[in-house]
Amino acid sequence: MQYISTRGGGAARTFTETLLEGLASDGGLAVPADLPTISAEHLQQWRSLSYAELAGNVIGLFATDIPRPDLMRLCQAAYTPAVFASEVPLRAIDDQLTLVGLSEGPTLAFKDMAMQFLGHALEYALERTGGVLNVLGATSGDTGSAAEHALRGMDRIAVFMLSPQGRMSDFQRAQMYSLQDDNIHNLAVEGVFDDCQDLVKELSGDPAFRSTHHLGAVNSINLARVTAQIVYYVWAWLRATDDQQTHEVSFAVPSGNFGNILSGHYARQMGLPIRQLVLAANENNVLDEFFRTGIYRPRAADQTPSTSSPSMDISRASNFERFVYDLQGRDPQRVQACWSELASTGAIDLSDETDRFAAEFGFVSGTSTHRDRLETIRSVYDATGQLIDPHTADGVAVARRYATGDVPMLVLETAKPEKFSQTIHEAIGVELELSPALHTMMSAEQRVTSIPASAAALREFIGERALKAGP
């Protein structure tokens, strides 16, 4: 399996090379030269597997340069009971919608599912090459904590994680900033998430700086994380369907940076029987606007409001380019033309393609507001006694508009409600009880450095603290 850039430059890469690289050398994103296939035979053979075993089989379709015994060992190390409270459960919330419980990991968010594998895979690759990696990432709330908890204490990896100052929940900040490991560096950027992401792209797009300082990525720019996320679409499909037949299901996905639902798109393109991919946005609904109109128009920082589902407060989705690549017939020149149009006009006009979004790719979308979130959290709690976080509530609210009853509608859970206790209290009037360990985390000393949204300031910070490769 070889990997190429959405922009057409550079040589083809292996999975391990792509794992360590982050952005492609030409500024594009790595994509498989050809997607592998998930057959009906695969699905039948995989029904009895544990999550770790399934991960080894699905990721193995992509990571063909990692010997299978090594890959299975990495997956077993990532998905152990010591790390995850349980294998991914499915929980019905009514006669049409089922939650896929992806938040059983150490940071109580779905991103643990891929990040734990990514941490072990990075360590494995660096041990084989004798190299070091300075991970540069941006987070709107959950990616940062999942990455830091997966990579903390590793000798060959340092983490430089940018977050928007004052735009995460108290719980999200505590999960990141309370870490005292020498290899973890938290930077609060004076701006919004898109400013953080722009800084990551600027430094990652500088070949000399990236090479000198051995920069890599762990957010969904890193294709290895996208491929690891495909596993839970397969896992959920296997548990939502009859083992005697191949049925379609639909997935509703709370979406900000387009990484999670991109994994669903790849799973569907590979042959997993998915009818619809329901993209749920919050008030920062650039992606919903695109799937309704065909116009992709990112917004400025002052037009990106802070909401009660803060991890989705994103205007420029870093994975969107990978979908545009497929939409444009996997033609790098057409992709480059789209980004040239974006640079010159502030928008990409693909309105001629709107009929294909649902018919060919299964995409539909909708927007959920603060009021929708509160009403959804309340209604699910009243009906089932289950609490959902505000991002999952966005997914449920939009999923209800598309649920038809003839196929299962699976809503991907985003996080545990404890991470957003203020919104939960506003919705149902209940103060959530935190475990003693979480109380300790919330009261722990926090270590974070504030910086302006300046590439020069970030270069200086990394230059002084980056790990250096040996002689």
Q: Tell the residue number behind the tokens 């005292």, with chain if given.
A: 180
Residue 451, SS3?
A: strand
Q: Enter the tokens of residue 257.
A: 């940076």
Q: How far apart are CA 351 and CA 342, in angstroms?
A: 14
Residue type, 77: A
Q: What is the dihedral of CA 279, 281, 286, 291, to 10 degrees?
A: 30
Q: How far apart are CA 392 and CA 413, in angstroms?
A: 5
Q: Tell the residue number behind the tokens 């545009």, with chain if given.
A: 324
Q: How far apart are CA 124 and CA 118, in angstroms?
A: 10
Out of 111, 201, 416, 419, pick the active-site residue.
111
Give Cα separations from 357 to 12, 226, 312 (angstroms).
29, 20, 22
Residue 86, SS3?
A: coil
Q: How far apart are CA 140 and CA 163, in angstroms?
A: 6
Give Cα separations from 123 to 61, 190, 215, 407 (angstroms).
20, 32, 15, 41
Q: How far apart are CA 279 and CA 258, in angstroms?
A: 9
Q: CB 82: neighbour CB atoms within 10 A?
A: 7
Largest CA distance in the chain: 62
Q: Enter the tokens of residue 285.
A: 């609904």
111 catalytic? Reply is yes
Q: How far apart are CA 412 and CA 453, in angstroms?
A: 32
Q: Enter the tokens of residue 130.
A: 């004798």
- Cβ(258)–Cβ(317) under 8 Å? yes
Residue 136 dihedral angles phi and psi, to the nearest 5°: -115, 120
Burial 6-27 (b: 16+ CB within 10 A, else e): bbbebeebebbbbbbbbbbbbb
- Cβ(204)–Cβ(241) under 8 Å? no
Q: Enter the tokens of residue 131.
A: 């190299």
Catalytic residues: 111
